């Protein structure tokens, strides 16, 4: 049994050298990064009742699954967290390792998937950001991710809702009209409704704590939190 979708891995491996180019194929992710960093940081601080402002995530162990070139991993490390980051693409991991070394950041990168991760420690926080819509077996993926989480730990899952609106905006609009993303980046049948994601969470020892929508504001040229969860949304689960 595996969560790895080989076609998805090959697709992202081909453009791995563009991860850190803010004007390249990952430009949308560079624009998305600020809001997800703030969202993760604020909710971790609230949940763990952290008082330090300089390095608010200090001493926390964070696992970033499907880390790509390390955009989010590096941000978490800079906030003080002890970061372990995994990705099934060796090219992504090579890019991430090279960039973190250049940035003088200590991050443990490994080319693997959650079901193959041979590690004894468990994590305070698991990040599954923009990854569940690219895996082969979502229930197995959530199960193995949950097993890596400490009791009362948090799991963040950011993904795309399976609605007609998400098909129009995230595929037709973003890939074919505006060309924000390479054509074929997403498959609509891999999108998942919040209710179904919650079902997978319940099966695997997770309680849904929070659910928020996110949308892109053309007026401010930035991503913002929204009550509209019909396209992009982010869920926070707590390990029971």
Q: 101: domain CATH number?
A: 3.40.50.150
At 176 the pLDDT is: 80
Q: Is residue 31 scored above 80 in pLDDT?
A: yes
For residue 93, what are the domain limits? 6-48+68-239
Q: Write down the pLDDT at residue 145.
A: 98
For 132-151, what is the mean pLDDT?
97
Residue 88 lies in a domain: yes
DSSP summary character for residue 118: -
Number of domains in the chain: 1
32 within a domain of the structure (yes/no): yes
* Angle of helix 90-102 versus helix 6-13 axis, rounded to 10: 40
Give the pLDDT confidence score for residue 182 in this predicted structure. 76
Supply the pLDDT for residue 23: 93
Residue 104 has pLDDT above 80, yes or no: yes
Q: Which two tokens stand for residue 51?
A: 């008082």
pLDDT of residue 137: 97
Q: How many CA atoms lie within 13 A of 24 on its CB side?
A: 9
Q: Is the pLDDT of residue 178 over 80?
A: no
Tell me if 166 is assigned to some domain: yes
Within-domain flag for 153: yes
56: left (phi over 0), alpha (psi -120 to 50) or beta: alpha
Distance (Å, whole) CA 149 – CA 130: 19
Average pLDDT, the chain: 94
Residue 54 in domain: no
Residue 218: the pLDDT is 86
Percent share of the chain, pLDDT over 70: 100
Mean pLDDT for 76-103 is 97
Between CA 2 and CA 23 the distance in angstroms is 33
59 within domain boundaries: no
Predicted structure pTM score: 0.94
Q: Is residue 164 part of a domain?
A: yes
Q: Looking at the domain assignment, is residue 57 inside a domain?
A: no
């Amino acid at each position: 049994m595996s969560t790895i979708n080989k076609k998805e891995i090959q697709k992202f491996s081909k453009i791995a050298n563009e991860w850190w180019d803010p004007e390249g194929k990952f430009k949308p992710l560079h624009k998305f990064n600020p809001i997800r960093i703030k969202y993760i940081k604020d909710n971790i601080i609230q949940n763990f009742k952290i008082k330090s402002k300089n390095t608010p995530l200090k001493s926390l162990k964070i696992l970033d699954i499907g880390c790509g070139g390390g955009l989010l991993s590096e941000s978490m490390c800079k906030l003080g967290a002890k970061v372990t980051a995994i990705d099934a693409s060796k090219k992504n991991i090579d890019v991430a390792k090279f960039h973190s070394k250049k940035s003088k950041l200590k991050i443990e990168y490994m080319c693997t998937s959650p079901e193959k991760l041979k590690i004894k420690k468990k994590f305070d926080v698991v990040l599954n950001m923009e990854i569940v819509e690219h895996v082969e077996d979502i229930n197995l993926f959530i199960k193995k991710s949950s097993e890596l989480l400490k009791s009362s730990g948090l799991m963040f899952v950011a993904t795309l809702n399976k609605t007609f609106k998400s098909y129009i905006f995230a595929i037709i609009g973003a890939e074919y009209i505006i060309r924000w993303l390479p054509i074929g980046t997403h498959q609509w049948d891999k999108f998942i409704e919040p209710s179904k994601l919650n079902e997978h969470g319940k099966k695997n020892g997770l309680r849904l704590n929070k659910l928020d929508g996110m949308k892109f504001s053309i007026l401010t040229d930035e991503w913002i939190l929204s009550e509209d969860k019909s396209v992009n949304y982010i869920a926070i689960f707590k390990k029971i």
